[in-house]
Amino acid sequence: MPETSYAPSALDRSATFYVAGHRGLVGSAIWRRLEDEGFSNLVGRASSELDLKDRGAVFDFFAAEKPRYVALAAAKVGGILANNTYPVDFLSENLRIQTNVMDAALEHGVERLLFLGSSCIYPKLAPQPLKEEYLLTGHLEPTNDAYAIAKIAGILQVQAVRRQYGLPWISAMPTNLYGPGDNFSSTGSHVLPALIRRYEEARLSGAESVTNWGTGSPLREFLHVDDMAKACLYLLENYDGPEQVNVGVGTDVTIKELAQTVADAVGYQGAIEWDTTKPDGTPRKLMDVSKLTALGWKASIGLDEGIRRTVEWFREHQDDFRK
Ligand code: NDP
């Protein structure tokens, strides 16, 4: 069984680096980070230019660009409602996107590839905080099982390429992310951008109260996407192994605390109410980040500051945020 003989080291700043999904929340942050770090040959394509579901087009693209490094941040992503309503889209599109990119990357011998999983693909009832070894040890959360199966297949593909071909590809497992470029749509967004939009609109309309779903007691962890992008490059330069690496902050907040922080950040002064007849979801979801900490990386953007920056971005992009 060939094991990689790769010793992680600084990536070549002049090599071609393909960021798949470079206009998305994570991909755009990775792109900014790589630019800041002096990478001079970044390649990206919008889905309108290159549909990663189109296998022939993906192989043609790799043949033309011959990237040496790949960050695979293109995926069909959505909140609980979208995942629950369109499971076959989340399963089929994600399988096709990631398989096409990784098959083409393999054919062209891409030296380092980073695949992104997600904390939501750990088993529903896994102990907290979530350790890397809990993957595939129990049943999935039914509302996003289709998405999770696709993502798990991606992590397995990275491991299989390592075993069969000895290429030093890796996977990272981000917690909930937020930041500039997030999806603020009313149907497809995650909890934090949804709260920012809801409270900003309530402030502007002078609403006396805003009602959120559930009790507000579930605990969640949030990582600013600029920290995530830093961690991605850090892993590419400092980690080589088959196991996915959790990327988070290692601490969590209640949804109630989160709502208050968002309300304070936007300057909303009305009441915050909770519709306790609506479901809460999983009580707690927190990553164990000891593996990443042992590798020498930790997050640097606090939640208050990160939310303030995201609110600023949201206000500056009223005409072009993702609705
Ligand atoms: P976004 O929705 O912000 O971005 C996804 C990107 O993928 C888009 O830019 C889109 O391109 C591209 N894309 C989607 N379908 C196609 C396609 N058929 N062909 C080409 N490009 C396509 O998602 P995120 O940045 O949030 O997520 C990126 C990765 O990070 C995903 O793998 C996700 O699972 C993971 N992740 C995200 C978390 C989060 O909280 N956001 C948490 C944990 C993991 P275009 O804009 O050009 O249409």
Residue 111: pLDDT over 70: yes
252 within 8 A of 284, measured Cβ to Cβ: yes
Residue 84: pLDDT over 70: yes
- Cα–Cα distance for residue pair 40/74, rounded to 1 Å: 21
State which of 47, 60, 175, 226 you would mutate to test the pocket of ligand 1, scoring each by most atoms of that ligand within 8 A of its C-beta: 47
CA-closest candidate to residue 282, choices 231, 219, 237, 225: 219
Which atom of ligand 1 is the closest one to the Cα of 115? 32
pLDDT of residue 281: 78
pLDDT of residue 188: 64
Task: List domains and CATH numbers for the chain.
Answer: 17-179+222-249+286-301 (3.40.50.720)
Ligand 1 centroid–CA 48 distance in Å is 14
Residue 230: pLDDT over 80: yes
pLDDT in tens, 113-166: 999 999 999 999 999 999 999 999 999 999 899 999 999 999 999 999 999 999
Q: What residue owns the CA closest to ligand 1's atom 29?
A: 73
- Cα–Cα distance for residue pair 239/162, rounded to 1 Å: 14
Q: What residue owns the CA closest to ligand 1's atom 14?
A: 75
pLDDT of residue 146: 96
CA-closest candidate to residue 219, choices 172, 155, 309, 287: 287
27 CB under 6 A from ligand 1?
Answer: yes
Q: What residue owns the CA closest to ligand 1's atom 9?
A: 24
pLDDT of residue 101: 99
169 within 8 A of 154, measured Cβ to Cβ: no
What average pLDDT does range 225-251 have in this prediction?
97
What average pLDDT does range 56-78 have in this prediction?
97
- Cα–Cα distance for residue pair 183/308, rounded to 1 Å: 17
What average pLDDT does range 51-70 have in this prediction?
98
Ligand 1 centroid–CA 208 distance in Å is 35
Residue 231: pLDDT over 70: yes
Residue 1: pLDDT over 60: no
Backbone angles phi, psi at 276, to 5 degrees: -75, 0
State which of 30, 53, 55, 77 you would mutate to test the pocket of ligand 1, scoring each by most atoms of that ligand within 8 A of its C-beta: 77
Residue 2: pLDDT over 70: no
Where does the chain show beta strands of DSSP type E? 17-20, 42-43, 69-72, 112-116, 170-174, 176-178, 209-213, 219-220, 222-224, 245-247, 253-254, 271-275, 284-285
This prediction's pTM: 0.96
State which of 19, 23, 25 you would mutate to test the pocket of ligand 1, scoring each by most atoms of that ligand within 8 A of its C-beta: 25
Binding-site residues for NADP(+) sit at 21-27, 116-119, 151, 174-177, 190
Residue 210: pLDDT over 60: yes
Residue 187: pLDDT over 80: no
pLDDT of residue 280: 84
pLDDT of residue 79: 79
Residues classed as catalytic: 147
CA-closest candidate to residue 239, choices 164, 292, 289: 292
